[in-house]
Amino acid sequence: MAKATSLHIVWLRNDLRVFDNASLFHAAQNAREQESNAVVALYIATPTTWQQHNMAPIKQDLIRRRVKQMQQELAEQGIPLLALEADTYQDCEAIFISLVNEGMVAVYGQVEYELREQQRDNAITKQLQEKGVEVNWYDRLCIMSPGSILTQSGDTYKVFTPFKRNWLSRLQEQGVHCYSRVKGNPEFSADYLAKQLGLPVMADGDESSAAWPVAEQQVLDKMREFCQQQVADYQKTRDLPAKKGTSGLSAYLACGVISAQQCVNRLQMEAGPELEQEKSGSSVWLSELIWRDFYKHILVAYPDLIKHKPFQKDTASIKWHNNKKHFKAWCDGKTGYPLVDAAMRQLNQTGWMHNRLRMITASFLVKDLQIDWRWGEQYFMSTLIDGEFAANNGGWQWAASTGTDAAPYFRIFNPITQSERFDPEGEFIRRFVPELEHMNNKEIHWPHKKTMPDSYWPAIVDHSEARKITLALFTEVKKSDE
């Protein structure tokens, strides 16, 4: 294949999908208008940067598997996908400069909001524009773009409920738009480019995410089935970790195998007027997608968050105890609090944790063990298949009472009553803590009273004592703030 005269490069990053992909859509449209012969999708794996960002190995594997699968899916549309292996974000610059020499006239990509990603994109944009290449960024990561939902005085909302109200009225006004799938030129192959660039092709992963299907149609079907069959009960079942009450789509949303816009579109189609009822399953699920937008808006408006600074500045001076043995026990699921242990083992074994359990384990780390929330934030990031900065940071700061619209510091989850309430029959505990398999439904939540099996762990702290210590830590900083 000869050198393409005008190459339109779609740089895939967090939008690993064929449907509803603004970059692919606009690249195909522009290429057609300019009678160019080539739209080429590009993915660059950057394992060293991923490691610096604590990306979980299971998430890295999911991405690699998805990119390979997408090569086939895009090939059916006549669009080659060049998957390359580099090291860091800095290496991406050199790849783009080489592509200019190969006839690249335009680049298309979906924005990313984090600091180093922005720095990388700004540097590449500047270099390419100086060389006369058109650079197009599409802000489709949120359903409503950051900066588009503001208070009457033009500020970012710091509280979720009014944000949501404004967000919903915007949805009514403008609806959601999804892009259709596009076709490229089946005669063009990217082999020539791959050879010219002389870079290694993307390596395979370690298959640790094999339990997660990566075909786009399968993921779309999962989302559709959830909206058709399960969402009506979401309000009732979403807090019960033993049930499959939530969508299980977070890993796909985090890598962009589906978009949040597609979820809302489908939800509107399936739920009809039920979506207008405040407490219906559909409207509660929509609220979760709005939380997703909310934390991204906060991140864009307060870029210091990326440096792991607390949103509530006074909490920066809390003197966390940071006991390393306690931290290890928490990570390993050996705290002696059954539901906390079951949750951490779910995370370690599967790479995913139920939302209620994320709240309980986060609260336990911060408010029962007095360990800095950033330790937990980092651990979650390095193990979660859906690890995603804004949601993870938002969730941790919510639980630690350091964030925006966070749980008040004096509201401290009791891990035993949470267990009785959300895993009443101990079904989830039994699944992940086999040591407690034979305990009855009542004693399983707190097995230390009577006949605790030798194989289980003594509780590492006493909850009511721990509660007092934490309240004192917070009161100290709140007082000095007055």
Ligand X SMILES: Cc1cc2nc3c(=O)[nH]c(=O)nc-3n(C[C@H](O)[C@H](O)[C@H](O)COP(=O)(O)OP(=O)(O)OC[C@H]3O[C@@H](n4cnc5c(N)ncnc54)[C@H](O)[C@@H]3O)c2cc1C
Query: Contact, 384 vs 352, CB < 8 A?
Result: yes
Question: HSE (CB half, 13 Å, CA atoms) of 333?
Answer: 18
384 binding ligand X? (CB under 6 A): yes
Beta-ladder partners of 110: 138
375 is catalytic: no
289 binding ligand X? (CB under 6 A): yes
310 binding ligand X? (CB under 6 A): no
112 binding ligand X? (CB under 6 A): no
197 binding ligand X? (CB under 6 A): no
373 is catalytic: yes
Cβ neighbours of residue 468 closer than 8 Å, sequence gap 6 or more: none
Query: Contact, 41 vs 82, CB < 8 A?
Result: yes
270 is catalytic: no
Least Å from the CB of residue 369 to ligand X:
15
Query: Contact, 163 vs 298, CB < 8 A?
Result: no
330 is catalytic: no
As given in the structure block, the two tokens for residue 141 are: 């990561």
Nearer to ligand X, 334 or 374 (CB): 374
| Set 167, 212, 285, 291: catalytic member | 291
As given in the structure block, the two tokens for residue 231 are: 């969402």
What letter does residue 385 receive in the DSSP assignment?
T
369 binding ligand X? (CB under 6 A): no
Query: Contact, 427 vs 346, CB < 8 A?
Result: no
As given in the structure block, the two tokens for residue 1 are: 């294949």
For the chain, helix, strand, coil in percent to 5 are 55, 5, 40
Nearer to ligand X, 250 or 335 (CB): 250
Candidates 12-20, 138-146, 289-297, 335-343: pick the segment binding ligand X (CB under 6 A).
289-297
| Set 11, 167, 373, 457: catalytic member | 373
Least Å from the CB of residue 303 to ligand X:
18
Query: Contact, 136 vs 109, CB < 8 A?
Result: yes
459 binding ligand X? (CB under 6 A): no
Nearer to ligand X, 351 or 447 (CB): 351
Nearer to ligand X, 37 or 392 (CB): 392
Among residues 262, 265, 383, 392, the one that binds ligand X under rule CB under 6 A? 392
Torsional sign, CA 283, 171, 269, 255: negative
Distance, CA of 140 to chain centre:
15
Query: Contact, 255 vs 60, CB < 8 A?
Result: no
C-alpha distances (whole Å) from 212 to each of 14, 48, 61, 285, 338 are 17, 24, 10, 22, 27
Least Å from the CB of residue 7 to ligand X:
34
Q: Which amino acid is at 66?
A: R
412 binding ligand X? (CB under 6 A): no
395 binding ligand X? (CB under 6 A): yes
Nearer to ligand X, 341 or 388 (CB): 388
320 is catalytic: yes
Can you state the angle between helices 89-101 and 115-130, rounded to 10 degrees? 20
351 binding ligand X? (CB under 6 A): no
Among residues 144, 399, 459, 461, the one that binds ligand X under rule CB under 6 A? 399
396 is catalytic: yes
Query: Contact, 3 vs 103, CB < 8 A?
Result: yes
402 binding ligand X? (CB under 6 A): no
254 binding ligand X? (CB under 6 A): yes
Beta-ladder partners of 138: 110
Least Å from the CB of residue 292 to ligand X:
4
- Contact residues for ligand X (CB under 6 A)? 238, 246-250, 253-254, 288-289, 291-292, 295, 355, 358-359, 362, 380, 384, 386-388, 391-392, 394-396, 399
The residues annotated with a catalytic role in the active site are: 288, 291, 320, 355, 373, 396
